[in-house]
Structure 1
Amino acid sequence: MDWNSFWASVGQFFADRGGDLLAILGILVGAAIIRWILHFVVKRVVTQIVTGIKKTQRVDDTQSLQASPLAAVRVVQRTRTIGSVLNNVITWTIIVIALIMVLDTLGVSITALVASAGVIAAGLAFGAQNIVKDVLNGLFMVIEDQLGVGDVVDVGPATGVVEAVGIRITQVRDVNGTLWFVRNGEILRVGNMSQGWARVIIDLAVPYETDVEEVEAKLLKTAGELASSPKWRSTVLEKPEIWGLESISAEALVIRLVIKTRTTAKDEVARELRMRIKKSLDDMGVQLPALNSIVLSGYEGAASVRGSKPPRTKPVSVVENKAPRRAPRTPRKPEAE
Protein backbone atom coordinates (compact mmCIF):
# COMPACT_ATOMS: atom_id res chain seq x y z
CA MET A 1 0.00 0.00 0.00
CA ASP A 2 1.39 3.39 -1.02
CA TRP A 3 0.94 5.59 2.06
CA ASN A 4 2.10 8.68 0.24
CA SER A 5 -0.67 8.41 -2.32
CA PHE A 6 -3.19 7.62 0.44
CA TRP A 7 -2.38 10.72 2.45
CA ALA A 8 -2.26 12.74 -0.74
CA SER A 9 -5.80 11.61 -1.57
CA VAL A 10 -6.95 12.44 1.98
CA GLY A 11 -5.44 15.89 1.68
CA GLN A 12 -7.07 16.40 -1.71
CA PHE A 13 -10.45 15.35 -0.23
CA PHE A 14 -10.22 17.89 2.56
CA ALA A 15 -9.04 20.52 0.10
CA ASP A 16 -12.05 19.86 -2.12
CA ARG A 17 -14.70 19.25 0.57
CA GLY A 18 -13.22 21.06 3.56
CA GLY A 19 -15.70 23.87 3.23
CA ASP A 20 -18.59 21.41 3.18
CA LEU A 21 -17.29 19.65 6.28
CA LEU A 22 -16.98 22.94 8.14
CA ALA A 23 -20.51 23.86 7.04
CA ILE A 24 -21.86 20.51 8.28
CA LEU A 25 -20.03 20.97 11.59
CA GLY A 26 -21.49 24.45 11.88
CA ILE A 27 -25.01 23.09 11.20
CA LEU A 28 -24.66 20.44 13.91
CA VAL A 29 -23.23 22.87 16.45
CA GLY A 30 -25.89 25.45 15.63
CA ALA A 31 -28.66 22.85 15.95
CA ALA A 32 -27.34 21.78 19.35
CA ILE A 33 -27.17 25.40 20.53
CA ILE A 34 -30.68 26.20 19.29
CA ARG A 35 -32.03 23.04 20.96
CA TRP A 36 -30.37 23.99 24.25
CA ILE A 37 -31.75 27.55 24.09
CA LEU A 38 -35.32 26.42 23.32
CA HIS A 39 -35.24 23.76 26.04
CA PHE A 40 -33.95 26.37 28.48
CA VAL A 41 -36.79 28.73 27.54
CA VAL A 42 -39.43 25.99 27.99
CA LYS A 43 -37.95 24.97 31.33
CA ARG A 44 -37.81 28.59 32.48
CA VAL A 45 -41.46 29.20 31.55
CA VAL A 46 -42.61 26.00 33.26
CA THR A 47 -40.61 26.86 36.39
CA GLN A 48 -42.04 30.38 36.54
CA ILE A 49 -45.62 29.12 36.22
CA VAL A 50 -45.15 26.44 38.91
CA THR A 51 -43.30 28.84 41.23
CA GLY A 52 -45.97 31.49 40.76
CA ILE A 53 -48.71 29.06 41.76
CA LYS A 54 -46.76 27.95 44.82
CA LYS A 55 -46.25 31.57 45.90
CA THR A 56 -49.93 32.31 45.35
CA GLN A 57 -50.90 29.32 47.52
CA ARG A 58 -48.10 30.12 50.02
CA VAL A 59 -46.50 26.67 49.89
CA ASP A 60 -42.96 25.48 49.25
CA ASP A 61 -43.48 22.23 47.37
CA THR A 62 -46.02 20.76 44.97
CA GLN A 63 -47.22 18.12 47.44
CA SER A 64 -48.41 20.88 49.77
CA LEU A 65 -50.83 22.03 47.09
CA GLN A 66 -53.22 19.31 48.29
CA ALA A 67 -54.62 21.87 50.73
CA SER A 68 -55.17 24.40 47.95
CA PRO A 69 -57.87 24.51 45.26
CA LEU A 70 -57.73 21.50 42.95
CA ALA A 71 -57.37 23.77 39.92
CA ALA A 72 -53.92 24.88 41.11
CA VAL A 73 -52.69 21.28 41.23
CA ARG A 74 -54.01 20.60 37.74
CA VAL A 75 -52.25 23.71 36.37
CA VAL A 76 -48.93 22.54 37.81
CA GLN A 77 -49.28 19.02 36.43
CA ARG A 78 -50.58 20.21 33.06
CA THR A 79 -47.77 22.78 32.70
CA ARG A 80 -45.10 20.16 33.37
CA THR A 81 -46.71 17.75 30.92
CA ILE A 82 -46.93 20.32 28.12
CA GLY A 83 -43.32 21.31 28.81
CA SER A 84 -42.22 17.68 28.42
CA VAL A 85 -44.11 17.33 25.12
CA LEU A 86 -42.72 20.63 23.80
CA ASN A 87 -39.17 19.47 24.54
CA ASN A 88 -39.77 16.31 22.49
CA VAL A 89 -41.30 18.25 19.59
CA ILE A 90 -38.41 20.75 19.59
CA THR A 91 -35.80 18.00 19.57
CA TRP A 92 -37.31 16.08 16.66
CA THR A 93 -38.02 19.22 14.62
CA ILE A 94 -34.42 20.43 14.95
CA ILE A 95 -33.10 16.97 14.02
CA VAL A 96 -35.18 16.86 10.83
CA ILE A 97 -34.22 20.41 9.79
CA ALA A 98 -30.53 19.79 10.51
CA LEU A 99 -30.58 16.55 8.51
CA ILE A 100 -32.14 18.31 5.49
CA MET A 101 -29.52 21.08 5.68
CA VAL A 102 -26.68 18.55 5.88
CA LEU A 103 -27.96 16.67 2.83
CA ASP A 104 -28.30 19.94 0.93
CA THR A 105 -24.71 20.86 1.84
CA LEU A 106 -23.46 17.51 0.52
CA GLY A 107 -25.18 18.20 -2.79
CA VAL A 108 -27.93 15.65 -2.41
CA SER A 109 -31.01 16.73 -4.33
CA ILE A 110 -33.84 17.19 -1.85
CA THR A 111 -36.42 16.88 -4.63
CA ALA A 112 -35.03 13.56 -5.79
CA LEU A 113 -34.73 12.44 -2.20
CA VAL A 114 -38.36 13.29 -1.50
CA ALA A 115 -39.46 11.42 -4.64
CA SER A 116 -37.43 8.38 -3.61
CA ALA A 117 -38.71 8.66 -0.07
CA GLY A 118 -42.27 8.62 -1.40
CA VAL A 119 -41.66 5.24 -3.00
CA ILE A 120 -40.06 3.91 0.18
CA ALA A 121 -42.80 5.41 2.35
CA ALA A 122 -45.42 3.52 0.38
CA GLY A 123 -43.76 0.29 1.42
CA LEU A 124 -43.30 1.39 5.04
CA ALA A 125 -46.76 2.93 5.44
CA PHE A 126 -48.17 -0.15 7.13
CA GLY A 127 -45.39 -0.22 9.72
CA ALA A 128 -45.28 3.55 10.22
CA GLN A 129 -48.97 3.82 11.02
CA ASN A 130 -48.27 2.66 14.57
CA ILE A 131 -45.85 5.55 15.07
CA VAL A 132 -48.36 8.05 13.70
CA LYS A 133 -51.02 6.55 15.95
CA ASP A 134 -48.75 6.91 19.00
CA VAL A 135 -47.95 10.55 18.21
CA LEU A 136 -51.56 11.59 17.56
CA ASN A 137 -52.89 9.78 20.63
CA GLY A 138 -50.20 11.37 22.80
CA LEU A 139 -51.06 14.86 21.55
CA PHE A 140 -54.78 14.34 22.17
CA MET A 141 -54.15 13.03 25.70
CA VAL A 142 -52.21 16.19 26.55
CA ILE A 143 -54.61 18.59 24.84
CA GLU A 144 -57.65 17.01 26.51
CA ASP A 145 -55.86 16.85 29.89
CA GLN A 146 -56.47 13.12 30.24
CA LEU A 147 -53.29 12.74 32.29
CA GLY A 148 -50.34 14.79 33.47
CA VAL A 149 -46.96 14.45 35.12
CA GLY A 150 -47.54 13.47 38.74
CA ASP A 151 -50.98 11.94 38.17
CA VAL A 152 -51.82 8.49 39.49
CA VAL A 153 -53.35 6.71 36.50
CA ASP A 154 -54.49 3.31 35.28
CA VAL A 155 -53.68 3.01 31.57
CA GLY A 156 -54.36 -0.70 31.24
CA PRO A 157 -50.84 -2.12 30.84
CA ALA A 158 -49.60 -0.29 33.93
CA THR A 159 -50.89 1.57 36.99
CA GLY A 160 -48.82 4.15 38.83
CA VAL A 161 -47.49 7.71 38.82
CA VAL A 162 -46.86 9.43 35.49
CA GLU A 163 -43.23 10.54 35.35
CA ALA A 164 -43.04 11.75 31.74
CA VAL A 165 -45.34 12.18 28.75
CA GLY A 166 -43.65 12.07 25.36
CA ILE A 167 -45.03 12.31 21.86
CA ARG A 168 -44.80 8.52 21.51
CA ILE A 169 -44.16 7.03 24.97
CA THR A 170 -45.67 7.67 28.41
CA GLN A 171 -43.56 6.64 31.42
CA VAL A 172 -45.47 5.26 34.43
CA ARG A 173 -43.82 4.25 37.73
CA ASP A 174 -45.79 1.59 39.62
CA VAL A 175 -45.91 1.01 43.37
CA ASN A 176 -43.03 -1.49 43.20
CA GLY A 177 -40.76 1.08 41.57
CA THR A 178 -40.88 -0.47 38.10
CA LEU A 179 -40.81 2.12 35.31
CA TRP A 180 -43.22 1.20 32.52
CA PHE A 181 -42.81 2.60 29.01
CA VAL A 182 -46.31 2.56 27.52
CA ARG A 183 -46.90 3.42 23.87
CA ASN A 184 -49.51 6.15 23.57
CA GLY A 185 -51.22 4.29 20.75
CA GLU A 186 -51.79 1.29 23.02
CA ILE A 187 -53.62 3.35 25.66
CA LEU A 188 -57.29 2.64 25.01
CA ARG A 189 -58.62 4.14 28.25
CA VAL A 190 -57.19 6.29 31.03
CA GLY A 191 -58.34 6.00 34.62
CA ASN A 192 -57.06 9.17 36.32
CA MET A 193 -57.12 8.97 40.12
CA SER A 194 -55.69 12.47 40.62
CA GLN A 195 -58.41 14.61 39.10
CA GLY A 196 -61.29 16.04 41.08
CA TRP A 197 -61.86 13.99 44.23
CA ALA A 198 -61.54 10.47 45.61
CA ARG A 199 -63.66 8.27 47.84
CA VAL A 200 -62.52 6.10 50.73
CA ILE A 201 -64.71 2.98 50.97
CA ILE A 202 -64.59 0.81 54.08
CA ASP A 203 -66.51 -2.48 54.03
CA LEU A 204 -66.74 -3.84 57.57
CA ALA A 205 -67.89 -7.42 58.23
CA VAL A 206 -69.48 -7.91 61.67
CA PRO A 207 -71.09 -11.00 63.23
CA TYR A 208 -74.70 -11.72 62.30
CA GLU A 209 -75.95 -11.25 65.85
CA THR A 210 -74.44 -7.73 66.14
CA ASP A 211 -76.71 -4.72 66.62
CA VAL A 212 -76.38 -3.09 63.19
CA GLU A 213 -77.75 0.30 64.22
CA GLU A 214 -75.35 0.54 67.13
CA VAL A 215 -72.36 -0.36 64.96
CA GLU A 216 -73.40 2.10 62.25
CA ALA A 217 -73.74 4.89 64.80
CA LYS A 218 -70.30 4.10 66.21
CA LEU A 219 -68.70 4.02 62.75
CA LEU A 220 -70.30 7.31 61.77
CA LYS A 221 -69.16 8.94 65.02
CA THR A 222 -65.60 7.68 64.55
CA ALA A 223 -65.43 8.91 60.95
CA GLY A 224 -66.93 12.26 61.97
CA GLU A 225 -64.25 12.74 64.62
CA LEU A 226 -61.58 12.10 62.01
CA ALA A 227 -63.16 14.53 59.54
CA SER A 228 -63.36 17.30 62.15
CA SER A 229 -59.84 16.83 63.54
CA PRO A 230 -57.38 19.65 62.69
CA LYS A 231 -54.95 17.27 60.95
CA TRP A 232 -57.47 15.78 58.53
CA ARG A 233 -59.98 18.60 58.19
CA SER A 234 -58.40 20.00 55.00
CA THR A 235 -58.31 16.61 53.27
CA VAL A 236 -61.95 15.57 53.85
CA LEU A 237 -64.36 17.24 51.42
CA GLU A 238 -67.73 16.06 52.73
CA LYS A 239 -69.25 14.52 55.83
CA PRO A 240 -68.86 10.73 56.17
CA GLU A 241 -71.81 8.60 55.12
CA ILE A 242 -73.12 5.17 56.06
CA TRP A 243 -74.45 3.42 52.97
CA GLY A 244 -75.90 0.56 55.00
CA LEU A 245 -75.73 -3.19 54.48
CA GLU A 246 -73.87 -4.25 51.34
CA SER A 247 -74.25 -7.98 51.84
CA ILE A 248 -75.77 -10.40 54.33
CA SER A 249 -75.02 -14.02 55.07
CA ALA A 250 -75.23 -16.53 57.88
CA GLU A 251 -71.66 -15.74 58.95
CA ALA A 252 -71.55 -11.94 58.82
CA LEU A 253 -73.14 -8.64 57.88
CA VAL A 254 -71.14 -6.21 55.73
CA ILE A 255 -71.60 -2.51 56.50
CA ARG A 256 -70.24 0.17 54.17
CA LEU A 257 -68.75 3.50 55.30
CA VAL A 258 -67.55 6.12 52.78
CA ILE A 259 -65.71 9.45 52.97
CA LYS A 260 -65.10 11.87 50.11
CA THR A 261 -61.50 13.15 50.20
CA ARG A 262 -58.89 14.90 48.12
CA THR A 263 -57.14 12.62 45.65
CA THR A 264 -53.70 13.15 47.19
CA ALA A 265 -54.83 12.09 50.67
CA LYS A 266 -57.07 9.10 49.95
CA ASP A 267 -54.65 6.39 51.15
CA GLU A 268 -53.60 8.31 54.29
CA VAL A 269 -57.22 8.96 55.29
CA ALA A 270 -58.13 5.31 54.68
CA ARG A 271 -55.30 4.03 56.89
CA GLU A 272 -56.10 6.45 59.69
CA LEU A 273 -59.81 5.62 59.49
CA ARG A 274 -59.17 1.86 59.70
CA MET A 275 -57.00 2.37 62.78
CA ARG A 276 -59.68 4.42 64.52
CA ILE A 277 -62.41 1.95 63.58
CA LYS A 278 -60.33 -0.88 65.05
CA LYS A 279 -60.04 0.95 68.37
CA SER A 280 -63.76 1.77 68.39
CA LEU A 281 -64.74 -1.86 67.78
CA ASP A 282 -62.39 -2.97 70.56
CA ASP A 283 -64.15 -0.58 72.92
CA MET A 284 -67.52 -2.03 71.87
CA GLY A 285 -66.28 -5.59 72.31
CA VAL A 286 -67.16 -6.55 68.73
CA GLN A 287 -65.20 -9.54 67.43
CA LEU A 288 -64.88 -9.56 63.66
CA PRO A 289 -65.54 -12.89 61.94
CA ALA A 290 -63.04 -14.69 59.71
CA LEU A 291 -63.08 -13.35 56.15
CA ASN A 292 -62.15 -16.59 54.43
CA SER A 293 -65.79 -17.53 53.96
CA ILE A 294 -67.26 -14.07 53.37
CA VAL A 295 -67.63 -12.48 49.96
CA LEU A 296 -67.74 -8.67 49.95
CA SER A 297 -69.96 -7.77 47.03
CA GLY A 298 -71.26 -4.55 45.58
CA TYR A 299 -68.04 -2.54 45.14
CA GLU A 300 -68.07 -2.61 41.35
CA GLY A 301 -71.81 -2.12 41.04
CA ALA A 302 -73.01 0.83 39.00
CA ALA A 303 -75.56 1.64 41.69
CA SER A 304 -72.75 2.49 44.10
CA VAL A 305 -71.84 5.61 42.15
CA ARG A 306 -74.70 7.59 43.64
CA GLY A 307 -74.35 5.94 47.03
CA SER A 308 -77.17 6.51 49.47
CA LYS A 309 -78.75 9.16 47.22
CA PRO A 310 -80.28 7.25 44.30
CA PRO A 311 -81.72 9.16 41.34
CA ARG A 312 -85.36 10.13 41.60
CA THR A 313 -87.77 8.45 39.21
CA LYS A 314 -91.37 9.14 38.42
CA PRO A 315 -93.91 6.66 39.74
CA VAL A 316 -95.16 4.23 37.16
CA SER A 317 -98.89 3.67 37.12
CA VAL A 318 -99.91 0.07 37.38
CA VAL A 319 -103.14 -1.03 35.75
CA GLU A 320 -104.65 -4.03 37.41
CA ASN A 321 -106.54 -6.46 35.25
CA LYS A 322 -109.57 -7.25 37.39
CA ALA A 323 -111.21 -10.52 36.48
CA PRO A 324 -115.03 -10.72 36.78
CA ARG A 325 -116.12 -12.00 40.12
CA ARG A 326 -117.97 -15.30 40.10
CA ALA A 327 -121.09 -15.88 42.12
CA PRO A 328 -120.53 -18.12 45.12
CA ARG A 329 -121.51 -21.69 44.57
CA THR A 330 -124.37 -22.98 46.70
CA PRO A 331 -123.89 -26.39 48.16
CA ARG A 332 -126.02 -29.07 46.56
CA LYS A 333 -128.57 -30.70 48.78
CA PRO A 334 -128.45 -34.46 48.90
CA GLU A 335 -131.27 -36.05 46.97
CA ALA A 336 -133.81 -38.08 48.87
CA GLU A 337 -133.62 -41.76 48.29
Structure 2
Amino acid sequence: MNNRRRETLTYLLHNIVRYTVYFIFIMMSLQTLHFHIGTLLAGAGIAGLAIGFGAQNIIKDLFSGFFILFEDQYAVGDYVTINGQTGTIKQIGIRLTQLQIWTGEMVSIPNGLIEQVTNYSRTNSLAVIDVGVNYATDLRQALDILNQIMMEEKETNADIVGAVNVLGVQALEASDILLRVTAECNPTTQYSVRRMVYLKIKEAFDAAGIDIPVPQQVVEIKNPEAFTVSHS
Protein backbone atom coordinates (compact mmCIF):
# COMPACT_ATOMS: atom_id res chain seq x y z
CA MET A 1 0.00 0.00 0.00
CA ASN A 2 1.50 3.33 -1.04
CA ASN A 3 1.62 6.37 1.23
CA ARG A 4 -1.28 8.22 -0.40
CA ARG A 5 -3.56 5.18 -0.02
CA ARG A 6 -2.44 4.60 3.57
CA GLU A 7 -3.06 8.23 4.53
CA THR A 8 -6.51 8.16 2.93
CA LEU A 9 -7.58 5.04 4.81
CA THR A 10 -6.18 6.50 8.04
CA TYR A 11 -8.45 9.53 7.69
CA LEU A 12 -11.41 7.28 6.86
CA LEU A 13 -10.77 4.95 9.82
CA HIS A 14 -10.48 7.98 12.12
CA ASN A 15 -13.86 9.17 10.80
CA ILE A 16 -15.54 5.80 11.39
CA VAL A 17 -14.08 5.41 14.90
CA ARG A 18 -15.22 8.92 15.83
CA TYR A 19 -18.83 8.25 14.78
CA THR A 20 -18.76 4.88 16.58
CA VAL A 21 -17.49 6.45 19.81
CA TYR A 22 -20.18 9.13 19.60
CA PHE A 23 -22.86 6.46 19.21
CA ILE A 24 -21.56 4.37 22.14
CA PHE A 25 -21.26 7.49 24.30
CA ILE A 26 -24.87 8.46 23.60
CA MET A 27 -26.14 4.93 24.35
CA MET A 28 -24.18 4.75 27.62
CA SER A 29 -25.38 8.20 28.64
CA LEU A 30 -28.99 7.19 28.06
CA GLN A 31 -28.45 4.03 30.08
CA THR A 32 -26.95 6.06 32.91
CA LEU A 33 -30.09 8.23 32.87
CA HIS A 34 -32.21 5.02 33.20
CA PHE A 35 -33.61 5.03 29.68
CA HIS A 36 -34.55 1.60 28.32
CA ILE A 37 -32.07 1.23 25.48
CA GLY A 38 -33.64 -1.99 24.21
CA THR A 39 -36.99 -0.27 23.76
CA LEU A 40 -35.31 2.66 22.03
CA LEU A 41 -33.43 0.40 19.61
CA ALA A 42 -36.59 -1.55 18.82
CA GLY A 43 -38.45 1.68 18.16
CA ALA A 44 -35.58 2.90 16.04
CA GLY A 45 -36.33 0.19 13.49
CA ILE A 46 -39.81 1.58 12.93
CA ALA A 47 -38.69 5.19 13.06
CA GLY A 48 -35.83 4.35 10.73
CA LEU A 49 -38.26 3.60 7.92
CA ALA A 50 -39.72 7.08 8.19
CA ILE A 51 -36.34 8.73 8.62
CA GLY A 52 -34.89 6.72 5.74
CA PHE A 53 -37.07 8.50 3.20
CA GLY A 54 -35.60 11.80 4.37
CA ALA A 55 -32.05 10.47 4.54
CA GLN A 56 -31.67 9.35 0.94
CA ASN A 57 -29.04 11.99 0.26
CA ILE A 58 -26.96 10.80 3.23
CA ILE A 59 -27.16 7.20 2.01
CA LYS A 60 -26.18 8.36 -1.46
CA ASP A 61 -23.16 10.18 0.01
CA LEU A 62 -22.09 7.03 1.89
CA PHE A 63 -22.33 4.77 -1.16
CA SER A 64 -20.57 7.32 -3.37
CA GLY A 65 -17.77 7.65 -0.82
CA PHE A 66 -17.38 3.87 -0.77
CA PHE A 67 -17.01 3.66 -4.55
CA ILE A 68 -14.58 6.61 -4.60
CA LEU A 69 -12.33 4.70 -2.20
CA PHE A 70 -12.89 1.30 -3.83
CA GLU A 71 -12.08 2.62 -7.33
CA ASP A 72 -9.24 4.79 -5.96
CA GLN A 73 -10.46 7.83 -7.91
CA TYR A 74 -8.39 10.13 -5.70
CA ALA A 75 -6.61 10.08 -2.36
CA VAL A 76 -5.44 12.49 0.34
CA GLY A 77 -2.76 14.78 -1.10
CA ASP A 78 -3.92 14.51 -4.72
CA TYR A 79 -4.36 17.71 -6.74
CA VAL A 80 -7.78 17.50 -8.39
CA THR A 81 -10.68 19.38 -9.90
CA ILE A 82 -14.07 18.33 -8.48
CA ASN A 83 -17.24 19.95 -9.82
CA GLY A 84 -15.21 22.94 -11.02
CA GLN A 85 -13.30 23.39 -7.73
CA THR A 86 -9.53 22.86 -8.02
CA GLY A 87 -7.29 22.13 -5.06
CA THR A 88 -5.61 19.52 -2.86
CA ILE A 89 -7.53 16.72 -1.16
CA LYS A 90 -7.17 17.15 2.60
CA GLN A 91 -9.62 14.57 3.89
CA ILE A 92 -11.97 11.90 2.56
CA GLY A 93 -14.76 10.98 4.95
CA ILE A 94 -17.58 8.50 4.67
CA ARG A 95 -19.89 11.36 3.66
CA LEU A 96 -17.76 14.38 2.69
CA THR A 97 -14.61 15.15 0.73
CA GLN A 98 -12.63 18.19 1.92
CA LEU A 99 -10.72 20.13 -0.72
CA GLN A 100 -8.31 23.00 -0.04
CA ILE A 101 -8.04 25.44 -2.92
CA TRP A 102 -4.82 27.30 -3.62
CA THR A 103 -5.88 30.46 -1.76
CA GLY A 104 -6.34 28.44 1.45
CA GLU A 105 -10.11 28.04 1.70
CA MET A 106 -11.49 24.61 2.61
CA VAL A 107 -14.36 23.34 0.46
CA SER A 108 -16.53 20.46 1.74
CA ILE A 109 -18.25 18.51 -1.03
CA PRO A 110 -20.83 15.78 -0.29
CA ASN A 111 -19.67 12.59 -1.99
CA GLY A 112 -23.09 12.10 -3.54
CA LEU A 113 -22.83 15.40 -5.42
CA ILE A 114 -19.49 14.61 -7.06
CA GLU A 115 -20.18 14.32 -10.77
CA GLN A 116 -16.77 14.77 -12.43
CA VAL A 117 -13.22 14.38 -11.12
CA THR A 118 -10.00 15.40 -12.85
CA ASN A 119 -6.93 14.05 -11.06
CA TYR A 120 -3.64 15.80 -11.88
CA SER A 121 -1.49 13.70 -9.53
CA ARG A 122 -1.56 10.34 -11.29
CA THR A 123 0.57 11.02 -14.39
CA ASN A 124 3.39 13.32 -15.42
CA SER A 125 2.40 16.83 -16.48
CA LEU A 126 3.51 18.83 -19.50
CA ALA A 127 4.89 22.35 -19.16
CA VAL A 128 4.06 24.36 -22.27
CA ILE A 129 6.08 27.56 -22.65
CA ASP A 130 5.11 30.09 -25.32
CA VAL A 131 7.23 33.17 -25.98
CA GLY A 132 6.77 35.86 -28.63
CA VAL A 133 9.55 37.58 -30.60
CA ASN A 134 9.64 40.41 -33.12
CA TYR A 135 9.24 39.72 -36.83
CA ALA A 136 12.76 41.13 -37.30
CA THR A 137 14.25 38.51 -34.95
CA ASP A 138 16.65 35.87 -36.23
CA LEU A 139 14.43 32.87 -35.50
CA ARG A 140 17.22 30.30 -35.70
CA GLN A 141 19.21 32.23 -33.09
CA ALA A 142 16.14 32.46 -30.84
CA LEU A 143 15.43 28.74 -31.21
CA ASP A 144 19.05 27.86 -30.46
CA ILE A 145 18.84 29.92 -27.24
CA LEU A 146 15.61 28.19 -26.25
CA ASN A 147 17.13 24.77 -26.92
CA GLN A 148 20.18 25.60 -24.81
CA ILE A 149 17.99 26.84 -21.94
CA MET A 150 15.84 23.71 -22.00
CA MET A 151 18.84 21.37 -22.10
CA GLU A 152 20.42 23.12 -19.12
CA GLU A 153 17.13 23.14 -17.23
CA LYS A 154 16.68 19.40 -17.80
CA GLU A 155 20.10 18.75 -16.28
CA THR A 156 19.57 20.95 -13.21
CA ASN A 157 15.82 20.83 -12.48
CA ALA A 158 14.74 17.60 -10.75
CA ASP A 159 11.08 18.28 -11.63
CA ILE A 160 11.80 17.72 -15.33
CA VAL A 161 11.70 13.94 -15.70
CA GLY A 162 11.01 13.45 -19.42
CA ALA A 163 11.77 14.88 -22.81
CA VAL A 164 12.15 18.58 -23.53
CA ASN A 165 11.21 19.72 -27.02
CA VAL A 166 11.71 22.94 -28.93
CA LEU A 167 8.71 22.73 -31.22
CA GLY A 168 9.52 25.91 -33.17
CA VAL A 169 7.12 28.46 -34.59
CA GLN A 170 3.65 27.95 -33.13
CA ALA A 171 1.80 30.90 -34.68
CA LEU A 172 2.24 34.13 -36.62
CA GLU A 173 0.42 36.69 -34.52
CA ALA A 174 -0.46 40.28 -35.40
CA SER A 175 2.48 41.77 -33.52
CA ASP A 176 4.85 38.86 -32.88
CA ILE A 177 5.98 35.36 -33.82
CA LEU A 178 5.04 32.78 -31.18
CA LEU A 179 7.64 30.12 -30.34
CA ARG A 180 6.82 27.05 -28.25
CA VAL A 181 8.84 24.64 -26.12
CA THR A 182 7.61 21.82 -23.86
CA ALA A 183 8.96 19.76 -20.96
CA GLU A 184 7.61 16.63 -19.29
CA CYS A 185 7.53 17.19 -15.52
CA ASN A 186 6.57 15.47 -12.31
CA PRO A 187 2.82 15.68 -11.55
CA THR A 188 1.58 19.22 -10.75
CA THR A 189 5.07 20.77 -11.09
CA GLN A 190 4.57 22.26 -14.55
CA TYR A 191 3.71 25.70 -13.17
CA SER A 192 6.95 26.10 -11.20
CA VAL A 193 8.93 24.80 -14.17
CA ARG A 194 7.27 27.34 -16.47
CA ARG A 195 8.02 30.23 -14.14
CA MET A 196 11.71 29.32 -13.93
CA VAL A 197 12.03 28.83 -17.70
CA TYR A 198 10.35 32.16 -18.43
CA LEU A 199 12.85 33.88 -16.12
CA LYS A 200 15.81 32.31 -17.89
CA ILE A 201 14.39 33.09 -21.34
CA LYS A 202 13.99 36.76 -20.43
CA GLU A 203 17.57 36.94 -19.15
CA ALA A 204 18.99 35.13 -22.20
CA PHE A 205 17.00 37.20 -24.69
CA ASP A 206 18.10 40.43 -23.01
CA ALA A 207 21.73 39.32 -23.23
CA ALA A 208 21.32 38.44 -26.92
CA GLY A 209 19.46 41.67 -27.75
CA ILE A 210 16.23 39.86 -28.69
CA ASP A 211 13.15 41.92 -27.93
CA ILE A 212 9.93 40.45 -26.58
CA PRO A 213 7.34 42.69 -28.27
CA VAL A 214 4.38 44.39 -26.67
CA PRO A 215 1.11 44.97 -28.53
CA GLN A 216 1.06 48.25 -30.42
CA GLN A 217 -1.80 50.11 -32.05
CA VAL A 218 -1.58 52.79 -34.71
CA VAL A 219 -4.22 55.52 -34.45
CA GLU A 220 -4.85 57.66 -37.54
CA ILE A 221 -6.03 61.21 -36.84
CA LYS A 222 -7.94 62.59 -39.81
CA ASN A 223 -8.35 66.11 -38.43
CA PRO A 224 -5.23 67.08 -36.43
CA GLU A 225 -6.52 70.63 -35.94
CA ALA A 226 -9.32 69.33 -33.73
CA PHE A 227 -6.66 68.24 -31.17
CA THR A 228 -4.80 71.57 -31.15
CA VAL A 229 -4.57 73.03 -27.64
CA SER A 230 -4.73 76.82 -27.48
CA HIS A 231 -2.90 78.72 -24.73
CA SER A 232 -4.25 82.04 -23.48
Amino acid corresponding to residue 117 of structure 1 in structure 2: G
Secondary structure of the equivalent of 2:76? coil
CA contact (8 A) 2:162 2:184 kept: yes
**Which of the numbers 170, 182, 188 marks the counterpart of 2:97?**
170
**Which of the numbers 266, 271, 278 marks the counterpart of 2:202?**
278
CA distance in 2, matches of 1:129, 1:237: 47
2:180 is aligned with 1:256: yes
Equivalent in the alignment of 1:197: 124
CA distance in 2, matches of 1:143, 1:116: 31
Shift of residue 225, structure 1, vs aligned partner: 0.7
Amino acid corresponding to residue 74 of structure 2 in structure 1: L
TM-score (structure 2 length as normaliser): 0.80
CA distance in 1, matches of 2:201, 2:9: 43
**Which of the numbers 68, 73, 77 marks the counterpart of 1:146?**
73
Amino acid corresponding to residue 176 of structure 2 in structure 1: A
Amino acid corresponding to residue 197 of structure 2 in structure 1: L
Q: Unaligned stretches of 5+ in structure 2?
A: 218-232
Larger radius of gyration: 1
2:133 is aligned with 1:206: yes
Deviations 1:69-122 (A, max 9, x none): xxxxxx21221111111221233345456656757844515334312432x13x
CA contact (8 A) 1:137 1:185 kept: yes
Equivalent in the alignment of 2:48: 117
CA distance in 1, matches of 2:80, 2:124: 14
Alpha carbons of structure 1 residues 131 and 157: separation in structure 2 relative to 1, 3 Å? farther
Greater relative CO, 1 or 2 (CA 8 Å, sep 6+):
2
Secondary structure of the equivalent of 1:254? strand
Alpha carbons of structure 1 residues 212 and 110: separation in structure 2 relative to 1, 3 Å? same
CA distance in 1, matches of 2:115, 2:40: 42
2:216 is aligned with 1:289: no
Amino acid corresponding to residue 141 of structure 2 in structure 1: E
Q: CA RMSD in A?
A: 2.6
Equivalent in the alignment of 2:227: none
Shift of residue 128, structure 1, vs aligned partner: 2.0
Flag the structure with higher strand content.
2
**Which of the numbers 39, 61, 64 marks the counterpart of 1:108?**
39
Equivalent in the alignment of 2:170: 246
Alpha carbons of structure 1 residues 292 and 94: separation in structure 2 relative to 1, 3 Å? farther
Shift of residue 261, structure 1, vs aligned partner: 1.0
CA distance in 2, matches of 1:82, 1:114: 30
2:184 is aligned with 1:184: no
Equivalent in the alignment of 2:159: 235
Alpha carbons of structure 1 residues 107 and 168: separation in structure 2 relative to 1, 3 Å? closer
Equivalent in the alignment of 1:216: 143
Alpha carbons of structure 1 residues 177 and 105: separation in structure 2 relative to 1, 3 Å? same
2:159 is aligned with 1:159: no
CA contact (8 A) 2:83 2:116 kept: yes
Secondary structure of the equivalent of 2:127? strand
Q: How does 1:313-328 map to 2 (within 5 A)?
A: none
Q: Unaligned stretches of 5+ in structure 1?
A: 1-48, 50-74, 294-337
Flag the structure with higher helix content.
1
